[in-house]
Amino acid sequence: NAGVTQTPKFRILKIGQSMTLQCTQDMNHNYMYWYRQDPGMGLKLIYYSVGAGITDKGEVPNGYNVSRSTTEDFPLRLELAAPSQTSVYFCASSYRRSEKLFFGSGTQLSVL
């Protein structure tokens, strides 16, 4: 019953560093998403994917990149980290786009 697994749970980056947030799901879902949640705010969509090899931008894609080489994995890459990217990041998946999302447990990222 793994569902959606995100790693790491916590990370501190220095300005200008890069890192990859990992996300994998074992439910054979076609759709995968990356959201960020800033303090006191709702979730905002960064990128999403409708299947292996297909990704698209969400509401706040700047400063991020994604890839989807397999159905299971959807990593999020931060290049040249900035303090504005301090946030909690959630990966999610769904079988169909219109259905409920299954979320990972989140990654708390601080850029100092």
- Interacting residue ranges for other proteins, rule: CB under 8 A: 33, 35, 40-45, 48, 50, 58, 88, 90, 92, 96-98, 100-103, 105-106, 108
Question: Cα torsion at 23, 24, 28, 30 (round to 10°)?
Answer: 20
Closer by beta carbon to other proteins, 14 or else 28: 28
Please, what is the minimum distance in Å from the beta carbon of residue 103 to other proteins?
A: 4
Q: Which of 7, 25, 2, 23 is nearest to 94 (CA)?
A: 25
Please, what is the minimum distance in Å from the beta carbon of residue 5 to other proteins?
A: 12
Distance (Å, rounded) from C-alpha 46 to C-alpha 64? 8
